[in-house]
Amino acid sequence: MSINNVTINAPATESAHGPAPRRYVRKTQMRIVLHQLSKNKGAMVGLFIILAIVLVAIFADVLFDYDRDVVGIHISQKLLRPSWAHPFGTDDLGRDIFIRVLYGSRYSVSVGVVATIIGLGIGVVLGAIAGYYCGLAEDIIMRFNDILSAVPSILMGIVIVSAMGATTFNLMLAIGITSVPQFVRITRASVLTVRNQEYIEALHAAGISEARIIAFHVLPNCLSPIIVQATLRIASAIIAASSLSFLGLGVPAPAPEWGSMLSLGRQYVRTASYLTIFPGLAILVTVLAFNLLGDGLRDAIDPKLKK
Amino acid sequence: MLRYAMKRLLLMIPVIIGVSFLIFFIMDLAPGDIVDLKLAEEGLTYEQTEQLREAYGLTGSVFTRYFSYMLNFLKGDLGTSNVSGRPVLDSFLEKMPATIVLACASIFVSIIISIPLGIYAAIKRGTFADNASMVLSFIGLSIPNFWLGLMLIIVVALNVSWLPTGGFTKGIASVILPAITVGTGLTATLARTTRSSMLDVLSQDYLRTERAKGHKEFKVIMKYALRNALIPIITIAGGQFAVTLGGAVLTETVFSWPGVGRLIVDAVNSRDVPMVVGCIILKSITIGIVVLIVDLLYAVIDPRIKAQYAKRKRKTA
């Protein structure tokens, strides 16, 4: 019982036997959004970059030998400037920065995506409950949300990771938890607009359980702003992950996470600035790509916001 | 308006209680405490560690310790640092001026760049200048600020030696690079908000009337359009200012800035629970108050909102 399906007339085509009968093409909201998105150059550039990064992340193990190329120590080649052999130079242990940056996409993107999924999962459930049931449940959830939002997310991330230990999963969890309030707010706002519609009343009358109504009939109609927020949130999660790694609270060494590479490069900022330039550029390009895609999605979903 | 402000301040109390418990509880999850760190460093006996635990108030359940902490908090005592032995409030107040200077400087940098840029982009909508400024703001949004800080250090401080690489010892020269670092992200967000808000206002009929009256375009934009576009701009600027007051941790680390952010990071690393909880409570209060001030500023800018406050007052009277 989705309200998102619309029917749009397809243009009639001429044939040798006169005008062809008019075909009615059922265009779903999804198709319309994808069509709008495909016309947005920025979003397409973002999507292309993201696909490239994801491919590199997936095939990193095929392209490089982790023990030899990524974490292997080659002291004879330490701190070499960028050259054809090492396009981004080498670090203090002789490891190729180019390979580490490419391999690092695996950590940064996976932390960004998984952290967003954690935040999304918790935030959407709480937001849906708060928006659908209102009353006491809403009060409790929204007050808890206020508490989580009152602490700056980077500080909350630092406290959680330092308390639970600096591991990749804890990093994902910490960043996921700090993104919960945004998802709660957005989901609640969307659910509030849907919950009083007539089709929900009809479902109640049909005796469908409330959990089923929320999961299969309310949430699917609230997805648009949540998807946009999730895409933009991946970008902030990548920055948050690299920030915490930069402070020594993220993915443990010797894994080539971009933030921890920057932290190492900071020690050589006077003598080997290329150690800081390239991992930072990798973060910038990745975050920019997600931001472009998220912005394009927002424009496609709600053209009124295109300003 | 005073009534509204009091109500908002009262609503902050449960949030502060919740924040303090949450941070206290999370810090309690950490596998070690300050005594374990001392044990590893100094090799204490069992009796000594027990005495130290007693002295630091680390005995009893997390709820007992939290209750005792909050009792002291209500008396205005935020505890003493387990590491330096100094009162938490003193350490916080000592570091806060540097954080405030950085927040003010970064918001200043951000406003002087973003508002003209946003206005220009809105006036020249759809032109190359508009697209270029929005692309720039997108890049500004995507730059990790700690990396930008490092790049500024390499280019401006190390290569041409125009400005110091860090610290807060050389007056205004020390503030420039950290302020640009924090301000870049804010600039990008504010420029986009200004453009969007100006676009809303520029299509209004009353601006056409002002032009028809013969006012110069500059006056129409600055006096009539900008003032009406200010509410979203101030909301974002105020929110960002509050965030900077609360969390310029990375910039403070990159530039060795003696602010509260670094104080908290150091406290977290040394498991200094009273310092972490105390500083985060004070930060949350600061942020809450800044956000409240921003809300109250709306009434100063927009007479309609002021009239609403006055109407409510009349109703209650």
The answer as to whether B295 is a domain residue is no
Mutate to test the interface with B, among A148, A149, A162, A264 (most CBs of B within 10 A): A162
The phi, psi pair for A9, rounded to 5°, reads -70, 130
Which residue type occupies B101?
Answer: V
Contact yes or no for B15 and A146 at CB 8 A: yes
Check whether A16 has a pLDDT greater than 60: no
Contact yes or no for A158 and B30 at CB 8 A: no
B-chain CB neighbours of A147 within 8 Å are 15, 18-19, 22
Q: How many other β-carbons are positioned within 10 Å of the β-carbon of residue B170?
A: 11
The nearest CA of chain B is from the CA of A6 a distance in Å of 29
Residues 186-245 of B with CB under 8 A from A: 195-196, 199-200, 243
Q: Length of chain B in residues, anyone? A: 317
Contact yes or no for B264 and A158 at CB 8 A: yes
A203: which residues sit within 8 A by CB, 6+ positions away? A1, A213, A217
Q: Considering only the beta carbons, identify the residue of A144, A158, A160 that sits closest to B265.
A: A158
The answer as to whether B221 is a domain residue is yes
B-chain CB neighbours of A287 within 8 Å are 142-144
A-chain CB neighbours of B30 within 8 Å are 162-164
Using CA atoms of B145, B147, B149, B152 in order, give the dihedral in degrees to the nearest 10.
Answer: -130
3-state secondary structure of A275: helix
State how far the Cα of A234 lies from the Cα of A232, in Å rounded to an integer: 5
Could you tell me the pTM of the whole model?
0.85
B-chain CB neighbours of A167 within 8 Å are none
Using 50, 70 and 90 to split pLDDT, how confident is the model at A3? Answer: very low
The nearest CA of chain A is from the CA of B190 a distance in Å of 14
Residues 76-115 of B with CB under 8 A from A: none
Q: Chain B residue with minimal CA distance to A148?
A: B19
| B6 and A CB contact within 8 Å | no
Contact yes or no for B19 and A147 at CB 8 A: yes
The nearest CA of chain A is from the CA of B207 a distance in Å of 19
- Domain limits, chain A: 1-31, 39-56+98-305
Answer whether A214's CB lies under 8 Å from A128's CB: yes
Q: Are strands A18-19 and A5-9 parallel, antiparallel or unpaired?
A: unpaired
The answer as to whether B67 is a domain residue is no
Q: What is the CA radius of gyration of chain A?
A: 24
Residues 108-147 of A with CB under 8 A from B: 143-144, 146-147
Predicted confidence (pLDDT) per residue in B268-303, tens digit: 888 788 898 899 889 888 888 888 888 888 777 777
Answer whether A295's CB lies under 8 Å from A42's CB: yes
Angle (CA) A114-A118-A119 rounded to 5° is: 115
Q: How far are the Cα atoms of A19, A179, B8, B30, B75 from residue B68, in angstroms, in the given order?
A: 85, 31, 27, 20, 11
Residues 52-71 of B with CB under 8 A from A: none
Q: pLDDT 10s per residue in chain B (317 long)?
A: 777 788 888 888 888 899 999 988 888 877 777 777 777 777 777 777 777 777 777 777 888 888 888 888 888 888 888 888 889 999 999 999 999 999 999 999 999 999 999 999 999 888 898 889 888 888 998 999 999 999 999 998 888 888 888 777 778 888 999 999 999 988 999 998 999 889 888 888 888 888 888 888 888 888 888 888 888 888 888 888 888 887 688 899 899 899 998 898 888 888 788 898 899 889 888 888 888 888 888 777 777 777 766 666 666 65
The answer as to whether B292 is a domain residue is no
Contact yes or no for B142 and A288 at CB 8 A: yes
- In which region does residue B215 sit, left (phi positive, over 0), alpha (psi from -120 to 50) or beta (all else)? beta
The phi, psi pair for A5, rounded to 5°, reads -85, 130
The nearest CA of chain A is from the CA of B82 a distance in Å of 17
Predicted confidence (pLDDT) per residue in A102-137, tens digit: 999 999 899 999 999 999 999 999 999 999 988 888
- In which region does residue A135 sit, left (phi positive, over 0), alpha (psi from -120 to 50) or beta (all else)? left
Angle (CA) A154-A160-A162 rounded to 5° is: 100
Angle (CA) A93-A94-A98 rounded to 5° is: 120
From the list B86, B57, B47, the residue with the least C-alpha distance to B279 is B86
Contact yes or no for B22 and A147 at CB 8 A: yes
Q: Count residue pairs from A and B with Cβ separation < 8 A.
A: 123
Answer whether B103's CB lies under 8 Å from B176's CB: no
Task: Give the pLDDT of residue B131.
Answer: 87
Q: What percent of chain A is predicted at pLDDT more than 90?
A: 39
The answer as to whether B237 is a domain residue is yes
DSSP state of A71: S
CATH tag for A39-56+98-305 (out of 3.40.50.2000, 3.40.309.10, 1.10.3720.10, 3.30.70.120):
1.10.3720.10
Helices (H) and strands (E) in chain A, counts: 11, 4
Q: Chain B residue with minimal CA distance to A153?
A: B247
End-to-end CA distance of chain B: 13
From the list B246, B270, B10, B221, the residue with the least C-alpha distance to B116 is B221
The number of CA neighbours under 13 Å toward the Cβ of B6 is: 3
Q: How far are the Cα atoms of A25, A170, B231 from residue A20, in angstroms, in the given order?
A: 14, 61, 55
Domain count, chain B: 1
Q: Considering only the beta carbons, identify the residue of B141, B268, B283 that sits closest to A291.
A: B141
Predicted confidence (pLDDT) per residue in A201-253, tens digit: 899 899 888 889 998 889 888 888 898 889 889 999 999 999 999 988 888 87
What is the residue range of B119's domain? 94-264
State how far the Cα of A24 lies from the Cα of A43, in Å rounded to an integer: 29
A200: which residues sit within 8 A by CB, 6+ positions away? A194, A213, A217, A218
Segment (H or E) for A177? helix A168-194
Q: Which two tokens stand for residue A23?
A: 């075909």
Q: Considering only the beta carbons, identify the residue of B22, B142, B196 that sits closest to A307.
A: B196
End-to-end CA distance of chain A: 32
The nearest CA of chain B is from the CA of A240 a distance in Å of 9
Residues 130-149 of B with CB under 8 A from A: 138-139, 141-144, 146-147
Q: Which two tokens stand for residue B21?
A: 């418990």
> What's the CATH code of the domain at B175?
1.10.3720.10
| A235 and B CB contact within 8 Å | yes
Query: Which class for A100: exposed (0-12), middle (13-18), buried (19 or more C-beta within 10 A)?
Result: buried
